[in-house]
Structure 1
Amino acid sequence: MTKFPAPASPSRRHLLASACALPLLAACGATARSSTGSPPLKVAALFAGNVKDQGFMEAGWRGLQRAGTELGVQTRYIDGIAPQKALLAQALEDLAKDKPDLIVAHGGQNNEACAEVAERHPGTLFVVTQGAVRGANLASYDVLQEESAYLAGVLAASTTRTGVVGHMSGIRVVPGLKGRAAYAAGVRATDAKVRLLTNFSGNQDDNALSRKVALAQSQAGADVIFTMLNAGRDGVTQVCREQGRRQIGNVGDWVARDPQVFVGSAIADVSVGVFQAVRDLQDGRFPTGEIRKIGLAQRDAVRLTMAQDVSAAVRERIERVAAEIAGGRLHVPTTYDGPEFATPA
């Protein structure tokens, strides 16, 4: 394992140089430590997936990069780890060997592994972004993607022409399950007659698999599909383009990338959770023992974008619902007990 500090490397174990190179830290003045002559904070991160997946992992990685650039911290990360508890725990142990100030475990799949490893390293702070755990040296930051997912459900039910809408995800982690439940609730609250096809295929990054599921949902009548996938999103996009279907993206703004296919995007910018955790540590207000939630009230992090062809009436409806959620007048459901769409053989 590469130790702090070291040059950037394209391998799976990385130390990223911040925008302020080490000799220039005093000039940049980005960190509280450097301004007082102390060394900059050291932040290590684990991404249980590929940081170039165009989705959840890449967003978290961007938050880490931003912390290096804007806050002047030294950053290191490991990616490409399968979402299995034993493998995640070992990767976290590897990061802990260098005794960084903070270890970021990105994604709710790290909840159990991070809680166990944190107990074994009481002198190091840990955070699970999109997590639901806490401890004496452990906090979680949760960008509430279920709030924008609810709006995605309103959009899907408002724009479907067939009366059938789809949902696709991969692994069953808590944020994904909550997002599916919220989407289903948004669909149901908008038009109870709209039929929902919802699927967890078991893989976030397999385009051949996601294409198969999307094609099956399209053939079953779904003309709007909400995808909570990472690198596997492209398979759905291909089907939508071929079949004349529309897609709703998540995490980032997919409407800006492909407005012909994407009728909307349920933005839940999880990079904000990573960056905020580092900034809170630097500012001396890291929320040890807490779960910090970031929702629609913080529109830079959570919102729904829509394609230009979405009608003014639908936009107004969604803005009203968003205001109700942000103001605490509408509770977003986070559990779902309805039928599921089987993954094709």
Structure 2
Amino acid sequence: MDDPFMDHHHYGDSLFPSSTLIPVTIICLLLFIIGVTGNTMTILIIQRFKDMKTTTNLYLSSMAVSDLVIFLSLPFDLYRLWKYVPWVFGELVCRLSHYINEGCTYATILHITALSMERYLAICFPLKAKVVVTKRRVKYVILALWTFALLSAAPMFFLVGVEYENETQPDPDTRQCKHTSYAIDSGLLHTTIWVSTAYFFCPMFCLLFLYGSIGRRLWKTRNELHGPCTAARQKAHRQTIKLLVGVVIAFAICWLPFHIGRNLFTHVDDYHTARVSQDFNVASMVLFYLSASINPVLYNLMSHKYRTAAKRLFLLPRRYRRRGQRQLSTRDEIATCTETLTGV
């Protein structure tokens, strides 16, 4: 929200009317509650129960950490939404909040891509996956993903900063946390936008290819399943395809407006374009936090195994300890077959 054409069209201290600010704030606070609760639950469940420490869930746990860290920046984004000037939190917080957002965003996208590759191997090449995909290797992959993501986001330290409306006569009441003049003049902003765009389209094409291959594999083998788990596996096929389609759609919906808004910002040359850019900024902010809160829903809440672990952790631990000593019921057998196929 750094458009110079908007400076004389404020609604008080904000760039937006209350009719926009109040609903957006309420939605973001709800996403904060859902996201923090869901991601914290994911981390606790995976860390506490041995049977939940699968290679897939290691990715999910790391993604949950990334999404939790993203929510640290929500108070500052809401502050800038309500009070465009002055920025009162200082230079370090300005740079750090943007860097954390960018780094964790890249980390989440890389985790989704790596997890999709792992699912592709597990479903399309199950024998090879058992040998190649180990917990130790996954931990190294996760470390590499975080390192690469944080290094990719490093330019954000130089891209943003605290600037005044009139640098020759600085007025504390005009301090803004925004893209710096140096970043715009040097071309660093355009470079960062290209990197960010690559982080969207490359994983998107990768997801489409991987999930398309998975879908074809499941479709071809739908009639090759035999044995007591046949019905459960056929049901798991349908659930897996629905989940994968949901992943791609959610990924596109959550991130496409963000990149459209960024590219619009670089072409702002009049008030109308600036207004459109600002509207995209608000929409992309909401979708940004939606993406950080929806992962536990998409990847975990569709898993019977995850729901069972959540109940063991929070609701009825004694009941589930006793239940664990009994023989599996028919429902549990179906769930077991489903978990084996989908890996979540």
More strand as a share of residues: 1
User: TM-score of the superposition, structure 1-length normalised?
Assistant: 0.24
Larger Rg: 2
Higher relative contact order (CA 8 A, sep 6+): 2
Normalized per residue, which structure has more helix? 2
Tell me the TM-score normalized by structure 2. Answer: 0.24
